């Protein structure tokens, strides 16, 4: 018997590698609109947070304008730079074959999230994609995870696993009553480990073991990496 009925995935940095695209999009906006130079290390803590929230920190009176500039640049580079993380396609195929319900919970707008999944060839595995435009409250609040759970038709609770690469994902899943898993390929793993997720997944194949293997799996712990 599998350990989980459903798995909810964050998108960027978890299923698909958009790390460099996100960094360059922020750098473009900060440089062209605000005259600021920022390093990747300054941007990583905001991975997983809704874009409007992040940009309002830097230009509270210009947040909508900054979001529009970010999205224009991001879209112009998106299909060229986005790719799936190695092993992800095989892992989600194995989970689907095992009868696990799969969904995406992302701080991206739904349309762009679907585009990223299609570019990476994994859209068909996810009947439910909940973007930032579908709920009034966003990560780290539980609302997007709870919406995905309802759309998947499963019961909320510890038989749902939330998988992500940022503290916002872990907080969202935990608030929704899910078990949580952090990915070892996260761009900024230190604060993620500090959240003490229920599982730490070093490789996508490890997730299959956690979800479908012996009770509790054998590939993750709340201790984080190392």
Give the per-residue pLDDT at 215: 53
Could you give the C-alpha distances from 219 to 8, 89, 209, 210, in angstroms and in order? 18, 19, 7, 6
Known catalytic residues are 10
pTM of the model: 0.88
Gap between the terminal Cα atoms of the chain:
29
Q: Which domains does the chain show, CATH number per domain?
A: 6-17+85-212 (3.40.50.1000), 19-81 (1.10.150)
Per residue in 134-168, pLDDT (tens digit) is 999 999 999 999 999 999 999 999 999 999 999 99
């Amino acid at each position: 018997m599998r350990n989980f009925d459903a798995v909810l995935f964050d998108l960027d940095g978890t299923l698909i590698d958009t790390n460099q695209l996100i960094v360059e999009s922020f750098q473009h906006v900060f440089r062209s609109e605000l005259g600021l130079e920022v390093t990747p290390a300054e941007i990583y803590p905001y991975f997983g947070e809704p874009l409007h929230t992040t940009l309002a920190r830097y230009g509270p009176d210009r947040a909508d304008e900054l979001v529009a500039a970010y999205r224009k640049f991001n879209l112009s580079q998106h299909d060229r730079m986005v790719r799936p993380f190695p092993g992800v396609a095989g892992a989600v195929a194995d989970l689907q074959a095992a009868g696990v319900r799969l969904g995406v919970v992302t701080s991206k707008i739904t349309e762009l999230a679907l585009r990223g999944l299609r570019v990476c060839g994994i859209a068909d595995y996810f009947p439910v994609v909940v973007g930032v435009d579908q709920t009034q409250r966003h990560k780290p609040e539980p609302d997007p995870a709870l919406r995905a759970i309802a759309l998947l038709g499963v019961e909320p609770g510890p038989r749902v696993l939330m998988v992500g690469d940022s503290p916002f994902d872990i907080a969202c899943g935990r608030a929704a009553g899910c078990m949580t898993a952090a990915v070892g390929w996260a761009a900024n793993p230190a604060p993620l480990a500090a959240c003490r997720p229920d599982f730490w997944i070093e490789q996508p194949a490890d997730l299959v073991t956690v979800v479908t293997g012996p009770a509790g799996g054998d590939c993750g712990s709340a201790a984080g990496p190392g």
